[in-house]
Structure 1
Amino acid sequence: MRVPFLCCLTSALVLLPAAALADDNAGLHTAGAWTTDAVSDVSGGLRRGGLVMHNLDLTADWQANGWSAHGYVLGNFNGGFSDRYVGDAQTVSNIDTTPAVRLFEAWVRRTSTDGNTMATFGLINLNAIFDVQDVACLFHNSSHGIGPDYSQSGPSIFPISALGFVAEHQMGPLHLRAGLFDGVPGDANDDRRFVYVRVAGDEGAHIVAEAQYDFKGGRLKLGHWADTAAQARLDGTGNGHRSGTYAQGQFTIDDATHAWLRAGVTDDSTLPLSAYAGGGVVRSAPFGRNDDSIGLAVAHARFGGPYRTAQGSGVGDETTWEVTYHYAVRKGLSLEPDLQYVKTPGGDLSVPDAVVVGVRVRLDLFGS
């Protein structure tokens, strides 16, 4: 099944204001933001050099009487830094991707009267609901957005989403979530399309479930995911199924200091990475600046035995250390100097450890 461009564009961006006008209690909110990353490999990696990458986010949200809808157009420009310069598997910039303008999300949601149960259907960013880590959003490395043990399977995440259905229910401190997604987001032969939806039996489905427990000063999460479509095993002995399990915790150390830990494992018979562990600490209002924050994080990705065997000798683990600072220039404008040290980029022992420096500029274009 293919969904025409005009159909998705209309449902995501045109019907929202129309629905809002039809209900006196409805609310429509739009927002736009521009992010620029100027990054440079100053030592090691594949080669020295720099790149300036850009990211545009345009969103529209509407809600009324237990119903809500969300549209999100995503633009990325001049990507490919990690592939060209660093060679890392975890990707040092979380806006680094194939340049294109895409309809990233377009979904509707029904929320129960008591607010404890929600059902969402449409083009959904899985990582906006599952494997989310609030504290880690300060950092630029992609592994602190979603673990690479999970993202390597190609689920419905940045920058291309898939049709999905998600159900969520809360019982006091316990939150339960389950999602069913198309197994292959977008067009595997063209990742620059504005929108492409194809539901086919041979692509299978992606299934994910997560439990979250909130407690005073933090939360714990445990999730499991699996693909129903068979994939070739890395050792050439037939087919297997991709699956994995992750856990994470978020903790408050004091009013200004927060930390997190995350770990994940996969069935590495069909995937390069077998395990991941990462975490970090963030302190807000350093040096007396209330809107600033500073953080230190580490991300360690382990390559599995079947992948190491297939590659021959010379495969190690990849570990990235990151230090970043969020400097609030004024409301809606921030600068974020960032330093990352990548040990064994891509797990290739022949590639020197890389040092990457960069600065991120984020500007809120509008909001309502």
Structure 2
Amino acid sequence: MRAGPAAVALMALATAATGDEWALVYTGESFRNLSGGLQEDSGYLGNLDATMEWRELSWFGDGGTAFIYVLGNHGDSPSEVIGDAQTYSNIDAPQALKLYELWYEQPFADGAASWKFGLIDLNSEFDVVEAAGLFQNSSFGIGPDFSQSGENGPSIFPTTSLGARLHWGFAGGVYGACILLDGVPGDPDNPRGTHIKLESDDGLLSTCEVGWEDKSDEGQISKLNLGLWRYSEPVARLDGSGDENNNGWYVAASHRLWHDWHSASALHGFVRLGFANDEVNAFARYRGAGLQWVGVLASDDSDALGIAIAQVENGSPFLRAAAADGVDLERTETAIELSYRFVVTEWLALQPSIQRIHQPGMDPNLDDATAISLRFELGLAGEP
């Protein structure tokens, strides 16, 4: 049975009273490719997030948390118009309604550590750069070096897998975390609905991250994180010479470069590098960086202006394999995004953005693309 976004909203609101905190957010995005790419065209896409959280549970000890997240997507794909490889919009996904996350988290060691088990979005805790969260290009979420991996991607938007995570915090803001996940989230042949299929040849995706974070009452000041990931099930090399394990690593840093002590205005900068085994992956390297100015016009932190650049690079084995098939490709694709988000009311935010994409899809036959979008967020949240 299939249901639309309205049905999800009714489901969330009908059950909200049983949770400690609930939220319902609909994100809509109207876009137009002005020039270049595959074709000049426009469209619309939408994303619905319905979440509920129960806190201070005592199922396995004090302080447990349970969480459920229903996800709905619909509409057009900007990347099908632009032809880009990095995915223009981070809410671009096949039309579907699904249970996205369902997990239980339990703290231990006097709150210094916690474990989590269930359907988990890897990118909710790993490979996260808070200062990059403003931007709409998917590469500013999880890097394309990592998101390309696996038979059906890692356990990220829009399909998650069953897994277990351990997190440990140390003195001075140092932390370490590891997660084990089913290596093939959902059903690669069916993007609709929620599918938990634990096949013997799926293998496991393991990811570990260590980092340091400095926070104040005003939010994050600095963060440095390093992550490594690996699939246990070998995959075929691009040159057809056998099998090899799929693995990679990433490193990111962000820092509050300037802060107005008389207001919430602040300037944040970030940089991220990612690397993947180019014997089995198309993308070998990724480089991204950007600036975000919070509190541009508003006296609080309710608006933000940012500019960022994301560049993904094809590996030499992939380029050789493509050339052998008669396909000539460029080595890199570069996206530059300028975006401004502001809160209109407590339930509405608007965000116009423009992106310039150099060598979309690494296709030498495509002109550089310029695309614009206007995103809006409608949100409701509450507690009993």
Give TM-score scaled by structure 2 length.
Answer: 0.87
Instruction: State the AA in 1 paired with 2:353.
Output: D
Q: More displaced, 47-56 or 73-82?
A: 73-82
Q: Is the 8 A contact 1:105 1:125 kept in 2?
A: yes
Mapped to 2, the partners of 1:113 and 1:17 lie a distance apart of: 31
Q: Identify the match of residue 42 of structure 1 among 19, 34, 56.
A: 34
5+ long unaligned stretches in structure 2:
1-7, 57-61, 216-220, 260-265
Cα offset, 1:289, TM superposition: 4.7
Q: Distance in 2 between matches of 1:78 and 1:108?
A: 32
* Deviation, structure 1 residue 17: 8.1
Match of 1:268 in 2: 278
Q: Quickly say closer, same or farther: Cα 1:79–1:165, change in 2 above 3 A.
A: farther
Q: Which residue of 2 aligns with 1:182?
A: 182
CA RMSD of aligned residues (A): 1.9
Contact preservation (8 Å) 1:34, 1:365: no
Cα offset for 1:284?
Answer: 1.1
Q: 1:367 maps to which residue?
A: 382
Answering whether residue 304 of structure 2 is matched by residue 293 of structure 1, we say yes
Matched, 1:97 2:96: no
What's the CA shift for 1:288?
4.5
Residue 75 of structure 2 corresponds to residue 78 of structure 1: yes
5 Å-filtered alignment, 1:288-327, equals 288-290=298-300, 291-312=302-323, 313-327=328-342
Q: In 2, are the aligned partners of 1:46 and 1:86 still within 8 Å (CA)?
A: yes
Residue 225 of structure 2: aligned partner:
221
Shift of 1:231: 1.1
- Match for residue 366 of structure 2 among 330, 336, 351: 351
Report the equivalent of 2:155. 156
1:246 aligns with one of 243, 250, 256:
250
Contact 1:316 / 1:344 at 8 angstroms: preserved in 2?
no
Report the secondary structure of 1:45's partner residue.
coil
Moved more, 55-64 or 113-122: 113-122
Q: Secondary structure at the match of 1:311?
A: helix
Amino acid at match of 1:73: V
In the alignment, residue 203 of structure 1 is paired with which amino acid? Answer: D
Cα distance in structure 1, aligned partners of 2:52 and 2:381: 11
Contact 1:92 1:140 in 2 (8 A): yes
Equivalent position of 1:170 in the other structure: 169
1:133-175, Cα deviation, whole Å (9 max, x unpaired): 1111111000011100000011000000000000000111210
Mapping of residues 52-63 of structure 1, within 5 Å:
52-63=44-55
Say if 2:354 and 2:371, in contact at 8 Å, map to a contact too.
yes
TM superposition outliers: structure 1 runs of 4+ over 6 Å: none
Task: State the identity %.
Answer: 36
Give the C-alpha shift of residue 279 in structure 1: 1.2
Matches within 5 A, 1:1-20: none
> Which digits, 9 at most, give the CA deviation of each residue in 1:76-127, with x for residues without a partner?
0114220x21111111100001010010000001012622101000000000
The answer on whether the counterparts of 2:167 and 2:177 sit within 8 Å (CA) in structure 1 is: yes
8 Å CA contact 1:17, 1:62 repeated in 2: no
Q: Give me the TM-score of the superposition, normalised by structure 1.
A: 0.91
User: Which has the larger displacement, 96-105 or 308-317?
Assistant: 308-317
Structure 1 unmatched runs, 5+:
1-8, 21-26
